[in-house]
Amino acid sequence: MKKKSFLSGIGAKLALAAVALTTVVFTSCEKEEFNVEPVELPNASATVVVTVYDLATGNVISDLSKTETITAASDGTIAATTKTYEASKEGYFSGSVTVSIPALAKGQYAYIPANIYLQSYLSAAKDPVITEDPETTIIVDEPLKETSYTNTEEKPITKDLSLTVKAGQRITNIDEVKNYIESIAPSARNMSSAEVNKVLNALVNSYNSGIQNTTIERSYSIPALSIFTVSPKATSTTTTCTITTTVDGKAYSIPSVIIEKVGTFVPEPTTESIDHGHGHGHGDNDNQGGGAGGR
């Protein structure tokens, strides 16, 4: 992309990338150009439009972008000057751009666009790799809340049932991992130790999104005169990992990161006949068998 070619010479700390674009100056017609009564020219004015982008994605960070109008002095003119605009956001390196505002006489107007590219801490961690130690893997199954529905009608019905599911991942020893990161003494080319630590912490946090219980809706065909039961099961897989990445041209390794991943399996529902009083399972998934279909 164009911005990448422009920014390629700035170095590893791309958060400070900024572009001041061409200034466009408009001039009102002089009163002598027309055969009309002389008119007073309007005061000079200038508009600076600063657009802030995410360097990695190219998306506009709208809450940081701004437009400012520069007003004239008491004599109606604007003196040549420069002005610096800064942008900062949580999770990003801050950035700035300096724009040149030209001298403007009465009747002149300048439009001055400028761009700031902010680099997120996470995008500064290049080529991250997770290496799992299979000998440390622990798998645990956990029954979740059962959902039942009793169909007292003498014909099948279709019913939406609310199911509890569990999913996500977390680092179970996050405090120890962050303490290890704080103990690292980086020897990066351009970044400070604090900046490298921010990048490594952002990378670690990207694997620590959390595990949540949520409710989903699923439609089932429930047989006549039956108790219909769905029994979801969560499976937790915990493994000790090593995370490696490159920050500002230097390789880093974060060992002993314990990551737990959780997913939910929804097996084939069971049905129990109301009149016969016995239950029996159907198949091994929730999309077939016994007249009970899920989607």
- Does a structural domain hold residue 134? yes
CATH of the domain at 84: 2.170.15
Has residue 284 been placed in a domain? no
Q: pLDDT digit string (tens) for 102-134?
A: 999 999 999 999 999 999 999 999 999 999 999
Cα dihedral: 97, 101, 102, 106 (round 10): 160
**Domains: count for the chain:** 1
Q: Is residue 40 domain-resident?
A: no
pLDDT band at 25 (very low <50, low <70, confident <90, very high): low
Q: Evaluate if residue 16 carries a pLDDT over 80.
A: no
**pLDDT of 190:** 83
Is residue 255 included in any domain, yes or no?
yes
Span 193-218, pLDDT tens digits: 889 999 999 999 999 999 999 999 99
Percentage of the residues of the chain whose pLDDT score is greater than 90 = 75
Q: What is the pLDDT of residues 226-270, one digit of tens each?
A: 999 999 999 999 999 999 999 998 999 999 999 999 999 999 999
Determine phi and psi for 196, rounding to 5 degrees: -65, -40
Residue 158 Cα to chain centre, angstroms? 38
Residue 78 lies in a domain: yes
Query: Which one is predicted more confidently, 29 or 48?
Result: 48
Q: Is 206 helix (H, G, I), strand (E, B) or coil?
A: coil
Is residue 117 a part of any domain in this protein?
yes
Is 35 part of any domain?
A: no
Q: How far is residue 68's CA from residue 46's CA, in Å, rounded to a whole number?
A: 8
Distance CA 245, CA 191 (A): 15
Q: Which domain holds residue 116?
A: 45-271
Question: Is 191 within a domain?
Answer: yes
CA distance 59 to 115: 12
Q: How much is the pTM?
A: 0.73
Predicted confidence band at 67 (pLDDT cuts at 50, 70, 90)?
very high
pLDDT at 277: 45
Q: Which residue has the higher pLDDT, 115 or 293?
A: 115
CA-nearest of 5, 11, 178, 176 to 93 is 11
